[in-house]
Amino acid sequence: MQVSQDLVGKARAGDREALETLAVAVYGDVWRLLRSELAHEADAEDATQETFREMVSSIRSLREPAAFAGWLYRIALDKARHVRRAAVALPPAASMEFEGGPTPMAMMEREERTVRVKRAVEGLDEDLRRTVRLRYEHALSYGEIAAAMRVPEGTVAWRLNAAHERLKRALAGAGVALALAALETELSAAAADPAPDRVMREVKRIARETPLAGPVPVAAGPRARRLAAGVMAALVLTLFVAWRLRVRRGEPGGEEVSGAGGPLSRLAASEDAATLPAAPGNDASGAREEHAPISMQATFKGRVLDRDSRHAVPDAVVRLTPFSHEPIPEKADAVETRTDAAGNFSVPAAAGTWIVTTMAPGYVPFATERWVANRRARGPQADADSVEFTENRIELAGGLECIRDLEIVLGLPIRGRVVNTAGFAVAGARVRYSQQVPVPRGFVGLSGSNFNGPDPVLTDMEGRFSLDAVLSEGDLQFDVDAQGYKPETRTADAGPGMPEIVVELTPRPSLRVWGTVRDREGSPLPGALVLVSDGSALNPLPTTTDDLGRFDFPAVFSDGPIAVWKEGCGMAVFPSDSIAAGGLDVRLRAADAEVRGIVVGEDGRPLAGAHVSVSAIGMTSAGATAWLGFADAPAGLSLGSGESGSFLPGRLKSPIIKTGEDGRFSFNGFALGGGCGVQLDVMREGHHRQELRILESGEIQVEMKRF
């Protein structure tokens, strides 16, 4: 976002022409940010309009024109959070549109790499993902990102570094090796989709018509604050001198009084106090002063210490996450900072209830260790499904500081190695890990975010992996899989002196996947996608069918079904052991069926305002079942036992429609019958979500029950 500070200054002064020019210059950047933050284009348009309404109405509160970019992006991110939490209206889409035509092989390979990078970015934690997008897709500086996300610049640098490492590991696991420079180039090359013209027209109208706030406030810089402090000090000194003179002269009201209030309070309460200037909110009759509202901003501060040695832990991350069941202000989000060399930290946050955790290399995360300790302290009568977070939950009061030291515990480092049956290292193997810690009446299960570090861990070129710190008791489980090998599971007892974990993988025989894809009339279908299953996930093969509809992959590792799909056509699914000597002869039917139905309430009456979406398409054949989901579907892809799944190309959006007064919905462009079907998700505020699969044509009825 590049805008002239002079233009921002004119807009800040109330120049309507400058406001409109500024809005037109930046609306595309804001729209693209919100389009990446929100699942649906209509939500992005609504949030864009709300962002510019707030920009125009409050631009006079912007103190420095140079801070405009970070300030505007912060408003946009706040609007995105509001939309997600309020579950605003979804875009009415009654059909799925496809773009036909074959894609050249080179473009497909490029697109595949881009898709893998996008998927890796989507797999990042929300804070890391948002930081990456602001840095590379929107070219913001560290300072602008810090302003937009309300974090220190050091946190921005740490998040980008962590994101780089996690992206490289995730891409390596997907068979894409990119150096940092190439990764940054790929991230920066995100398609800058133009915002719809209707968005620009609405933004221009908002810039012309939205009322402006009051006059530009005086910047409260260091000089202004020093002046205010000097005036206050002079006033206090004047009152003190006046009181001392009254004491020396023996005048009424001048006697020194001990106790609450002190001498100055006594002077202000004396009969002669009426001669002093009246305080704001008081009248001559002594009406009670109206206090200004307490600030909603609070501060959590303290030190992070090693629980056993009591030594300070520098460079530890202290993070506050809103407690979901308490009234945290709507704009509140997770905030974090790092400790200095003496272990000190200070985190500004909104007033309310927060969950606190601390993470440092080699230490068990504070929230994880406290969770287990609290479960253990509750004794044999503890309810295994009810855990009170007593030590990692804090209450922050507006305008006040909460001071508390956090003690963390050194964990047990785990080292391991993955080899094949010949003893050779297996690089790029995915290692997922979990732990069962004994407590009264059962166990506490830990996995994923309960540990420091990524999940899964990828082995290096020597087949080695390591975990930073786990609790030094309980059972550990390692689930390992790698391309070309059968998945393997190993268990071990955690404890001091624990030996290196060695996991041996058995190679899987390769399979030739080949054949021809045609339509029902026998015409070849170029550009069809072929996917093979590793037992649960469907993985697309590198290239699509050629101009004659042929595909041939001589060495594929698959333990599950093989699926073939083409835009505008249905799916075909085959067990991996069904490939005959002549290859697969795949026939795809046209996707021209209609999915239609009605949503009713418990009383059987049509239910308006329900959001119906198609979350996936699928097929069952010869005992093999595969589903392809829309990546932006609100409810995601839901799989049953023995089913394999993957996602459709990201350019295809989940069709969604909002029922009208008659409660009806319909979608066109799908294949139904003969094993083909769709998965529907129906949601409405105050009602239980309904998920159902439609395998035959005809009208269906969906009954929704209230909470």
The CATH number of whichever domain residue 18 belongs to comes to 1.10.1740.10
Task: Compute CA distances 436 → 20, 23, 359, 386, 590, whole Å.
Answer: 59, 55, 20, 17, 50
Residue 42 lies in a domain: yes
What's the distance, CA 256 to chain centroid? 61
C-beta of residue 702 within 8 angstroms of C-beta of residue 690? yes
pLDDT score of 198 more than 80 = no
**Rounded mean pLDDT of 289-315?**
76
Q: What is the DSSP letter of 289?
A: P
pLDDT band at 6 (very low <50, low <70, confident <90, very high): confident
**Rounded mean pLDDT of 337-365?**
88
The pLDDT of residue 259 is 35
Q: At what angle do helices 180-188 and 105-122 cross, to 10 degrees?
A: 100
Q: What are phi and psi of 332, to 5 degrees?
A: -70, 140
Residue 601 lies in a domain: yes
- Mean pLDDT (the chain) is 76
pLDDT score of 626 more than 60 = yes
At 596-623, the pLDDT tens digits run 999 999 999 999 999 999 999 999 988 8
| Same structural domain, 453 and 585 | no
659's tokens: 């029922």
DSSP string, 245-271: HHHHHT-TT-S---STTHHHHHHHHSG
Of 606, 636, 609, the residue nearest 703 (C-alpha): 606
The CATH number of whichever domain residue 301 belongs to comes to 2.60.40.1120
The pLDDT of residue 192 is 54
| Same structural domain, 96 and 170 | yes
The identity of residue 3, as a single letter, is: V
pLDDT band at 191 (very low <50, low <70, confident <90, very high): very low
| Same structural domain, 117 and 83 | yes
Residue 660 lies in a domain: yes
CB atoms within 10 A of CB 646: 20
Of 35, 37, 88, the residue nearest 194 (C-alpha): 35
What's the distance, CA 409 to chain centroid? 28
Higher per-residue pLDDT: 571 or 205: 571
Q: At what angle do helices 153-173 and 105-122 cross, to 10 degrees?
A: 130
State whether residue 147 is helix, strand or coil.
Answer: helix
| Same structural domain, 436 and 546 | no
**Rounded mean pLDDT of 129-157?**
78
pLDDT score of 181 more than 70 = no
The pLDDT of residue 92 is 36
Q: Lowest mean pLDDT: which of 96-100, 128-132, 479-483, 551-555?
A: 96-100
Side by side, the strands of the sheet bearing 664-670 are 664-670, 593-600, 699-703
User: How far is 284 from 277, CA to CA, in rounded Å?
Assistant: 10
Higher per-residue pLDDT: 292 or 585: 585
Q: pTM of this prediction?
A: 0.43
Residue 301 lies in domain: 297-380+387-408
pLDDT band at 287 (very low <50, low <70, confident <90, very high): very low
**Widest Cα–Cα separation across the chain:** 117
User: How far is 625 from 267, CA to CA, in rounded Å?
Assistant: 85
Q: Which of 490, 505, 520 is a domain's end point?
A: 505
pLDDT band at 433 (very low <50, low <70, confident <90, very high): confident
| Same structural domain, 586 and 553 | yes
Residue 425 lies in a domain: yes
At 514-563, the pLDDT tens digits run 999 999 899 999 999 999 887 667 888 888 999 999 999 887 777 778 99
Which H or E run includes 699? strand 699-703
| Same structural domain, 358 and 301 | yes
**Rounded mean pLDDT of 34-57?**
82
At 683-706, the pLDDT tens digits run 888 888 888 999 888 899 999 998
Q: Are strands 406-410 and 457-458 parallel, antiparallel or unpaired?
A: unpaired
C-beta of residue 127 within 8 angstroms of C-beta of residue 149? yes
Half-sphere exposure for 180 (CA within 13 Å, toward CB): 7
| Same structural domain, 40 and 148 | yes
pLDDT band at 272 (very low <50, low <70, confident <90, very high): very low
CB-based contacts of 616, cutoff 8 Å, min separation 6: 627, 628, 629, 630, 633, 637, 638, 645, 678, 679
Three-class SS of 343-368: CEEEEEEECEEEEEEEECCCEECHHH
Please tell me the total count of domains within the chain: 5
Residue 270 lies in a domain: no
pLDDT score of 344 more than 90 = yes
User: How far is 209 from 53, CA to CA, in rounded Å?
Assistant: 9
Higher per-residue pLDDT: 551 or 291: 551
Q: Lowest mean pLDDT: which of 99-103, 136-140, 318-322, 676-680?
A: 99-103
Residue 266 lies in a domain: no
The CATH number of whichever domain residue 598 belongs to comes to 2.60.40.10
User: How far is 160 from 142, CA to CA, in rounded Å?
Assistant: 10
| Same structural domain, 154 and 252 | no
Tokens 């004119």 sit on residue: 10
**Rounded mean pLDDT of 208-233?**
57
| Same structural domain, 313 and 339 | yes
Residue 28 lies in a domain: yes
Q: What is the DSSP letter of 134?
A: I
258's tokens: 């001990």
Q: Which of 200, 233, 256 is a domain's end point?
A: 256
142's tokens: 């560290």
State whether residue 110 is helix, strand or coil.
Answer: helix
Q: Which of 150, 184, 209 is a domain's end point?
A: 209
Higher per-residue pLDDT: 193 or 196: 196
| Same structural domain, 498 and 513 | no
| Same structural domain, 231 and 362 | no
The pLDDT of residue 238 is 59
C-beta of residue 259 within 8 angstroms of C-beta of residue 362? no
Nearest-10 Cα torsion for 242, 245, 250, 253: 10
Higher per-residue pLDDT: 195 or 398: 398
The pLDDT of residue 597 is 94
Q: Lowest mean pLDDT: which of 19-23, 132-136, 265-269, 323-327?
A: 265-269
User: How far is 168 from 173, CA to CA, in rounded Å?
Assistant: 9
Q: What are phi and psi of 405, to 5 degrees?
A: -90, 145
pLDDT band at 237 (very low <50, low <70, confident <90, very high): low
Task: Compute CA distances 602 → 606, 666, 687, 706, whole Å.
Answer: 10, 21, 10, 8
Which stretches does DSSP call E strand in 633-689?
644-647, 656-658, 664-670, 676-683
At 445-504, the pLDDT tens digits run 887 667 766 678 888 889 999 887 888 888 988 889 887 788 888 998 888 888 899 999
C-beta pairs of 123-127 under 8 Å, 24+ apart in sequence: 123/170, 124/163, 124/166, 124/167, 127/159, 127/334
The pLDDT of residue 218 is 43
| Same structural domain, 576 and 612 | yes
Residue 276 lies in a domain: no
Burial class (CB in 10 A: 0-12, 13-18, 19+), 473: middle
User: How far is 466 from 357, CA to CA, in rounded Å?
Assistant: 22
User: How far is 670 from 574, CA to CA, in rounded Å?
Assistant: 20
pLDDT band at 635 (very low <50, low <70, confident <90, very high): low
Of 151, 146, 154, 159, the residue nearest 347 (C-alpha): 151
